Amino acid sequence: MEISLKKSIEAVRMTLLNVNVGNCQLTFDIDTGSTENLVFDFVSNQLSDVFKPIEGSSKVFGIDGNYKENPCVEAELSIGDKSFKVRFNAVNADQTVINLQNDYGFQLHGILGIPFLLDNHCVINFNNKTITIEENE
């Protein structure tokens, strides 16, 4: 499955991907430098029926520059007609979300990092401004 990232790259210079979680459409940044998948805690708290807590926690060096322990949650995302079960660290990034909303006019809900990209054999083509997610056999 190939998805265009052209609009988001040209508008805000970010690789934004719209995903469906439960009955909601959320916006995640694709971040090849993030060693974890992150969901912002205001999202996981508001959608607690979808973002289910799982055992354990993980220390993450966050957007805010601080290294702290965060709870882990799991959710099923769908992109197009594909579903993915994804493990996230639930982090507080309220100020970052507010800044993005004020500066660019959109709300970010989380980050899909290296674990998502590797698990799903994703290829980002910056020349074509696309992401390809491998089809399951």
Q: What per-residue confidence (pLDDT) applies to 87?
A: 95
DSSP-assigned letters across all residues of 59-128: EEE-TTS-EEEEEEEEEEEEETTEEEEEEEEEE--HHHHHHHHHHHS----EEE-HHHHHHTT-EEETTT
Per-residue pLDDT of the chain (137 residues; tens, 9 = 90+): 999 999 999 989 999 999 999 899 999 999 999 999 999 999 999 999 999 999 876 777 766 677 888 899 999 999 988 999 999 999 888 788 888 888 888 889 999 999 999 999 999 999 999 999 986 65
Residues facing residue 3 across a β-bridge: 131
Give the domain CATH number at 45. 2.40.70.10
CB 125 within 8 A of CB 132: yes
Give domain status of residue 121, yes or no.
yes
Considering its fold, how many domains does the chain have in total? 1
Structural domain that includes position 118: 2-132
Q: What per-residue confidence (pLDDT) applies to 106?
A: 87
Give domain status of residue 13, yes or no.
yes
Give domain status of residue 137, yes or no.
no
